[in-house]
Amino acid sequence: MKKNKGVPVEQSGPLMADVAQLAGVAISTVSRALANPGRVNEKTRAKIDAAAKQLGYTPNAMARGLRVGKSNTIMIILPGSLYYGASQVIPQVLQSINKSLIKEGYNLMIANLGRDEASERHILDLAFGGTVRGAIILSSKLPEIDGRSLASAGLPIVSMLLDMSDAGLPSVVTNDREAMQDVTADLIRLGHRRFLYLAGPEGNYHDVERYGGVLEALEKAGLSESAVVRSGGNLDYQQGFDIGVQAADDFAGLADKPTAVIATSDDMAISFMSRMQCMGLRIPDDLSVVSFDGSPVCAFCSPPLSTIEQPVEEMGQAAVALLLAAIDRPEQKLEMRNVIRSRFIQRESMAAPA
């Protein structure tokens, strides 16, 4: 027990200064090594780690942030509730972002599980209250309520999965339009001339980009927009399985049947294929199916589903790098539109038309 001016005070454990003394380095070097290991050379970092372990020192990340007057918490704003279908894009992105932030000495805070009025107000309270150091917003617009907007909170913000570069927000996206154009062109080269497109919500950024890619491929091949029939558009992505079922019913009612189906998410494609097979159609003999997202389960569908795989790991890393650059070097001009290319995985669900 220590004494301070005659008042007994409990010893709270080893301090950062104790670690610095044992390792033979400055306190600022210890702080840097614990918060941003990549900024300290390997030999020094090893000495600091050994000293911290010997003393049993555990840094209190929140206290460290408060001492320097800055939070080390990064807020993630979700487009809505987490979705647990086959297309696990948002959970995979969260995992990538969390991993990257931890490496840089930051904590991840999920600010919301909805975008109702109460959730919007909570997000803005966090932003304006100094609780967070920066924000990454996923696949949605900035919160605005009661005359306040996240854009006015004075926080560094990065948009991911939605291009907001025109609004001056650094954005990390994949090449939705180009990837969909390429896969449609592949289907055309195989001999397909009639298509069914399984659409996401009307006006949604991803649906606009992906359907735009389909139309551009048709135009380049000399085919008209009438070569593709849209199904869906009235449900959100969390109802992907329902969209696939609805599309199967729409397909059954078409007099001039398409020979290839392009889905804007794996969930849609999976439920559509299942319903088609129940109707007696063979895939890909009677109908080719391709989709977007790259869910691992696609490899285990029957037949294995061809899909465009989103680079979620790389996108999460890029979003964190952009945000931390904005935090550490606010005067630096950042690239506004950052595109990480997707990868097409061709499997047995795609073939030439019979």
pLDDT per residue as tens, the chain (354 positions): 444 444 444 344 567 778 888 999 887 788 777 766 667 788 888 888 888 888 777 665 444 444 444 678 999 999 988 766 777 888 899 999 999 999 999 999 999 999 999 999 999 999 988 889 999 999 999 999 888 899 998 899 999 999 999 999 999 999 999 999 999 999 999 999 999 999 988 889 999 999 999 999 999 999 999 999 999 887 776 677 999 999 999 999 999 999 999 999 999 999 999 999 999 999 999 999 999 999 999 999 999 999 999 999 999 999 999 999 999 988 889 999 999 999 999 999 999 998
Question: E strand or H helix at 345, and its extent?
Answer: strand 343-345
Tell me the C-alpha distance between 186 and 192, whole Å: 9
Contacts of 245 (CB under 8 A, 6+ apart): 271, 272, 275
Instruction: Kindly report the number of other CB atoms within 10 A of residue 229's CB atom.
Output: 17
Q: Could you tell me the two tokens for 314?
A: 């790389």
- The distance of Cα 30 from the centroid of its chain, to the nearest Å, equals 33
Task: State the pTM of this model.
Answer: 0.78
Long-range contacts of 68-71 (CB under 8 A, 24+ apart): 70/133, 71/130, 71/131, 71/132, 71/133
**How far apart, in Å, are the Cα atoms of 5 and each of 13, 17, 127, 130?**
20, 21, 40, 35
Q: Find the DSSP H helices in 194-333.
A: 205-220, 240-252, 266-278, 312-328
Write down the residue that tokens 């070569």 correspond to: 227
**Kind and range of the H or E element at 64?**
helix 61-67
Domains of the chain: 2-59 (1.10.260.40), 73-173+312-340 (3.40.50.2300), 176-310 (3.40.50.2300)
61 burial (CB, 10 Å; 0-12 / 13-18 / 19+) is middle
Q: Which helix (H) or strand (E) holds 85?
A: none
Residue pair 84/333 in contact by the 8 Å Cβ criterion: no
Distance from chain centroid for Cα 259: 32
CB atoms within 10 A of CB 302: 11
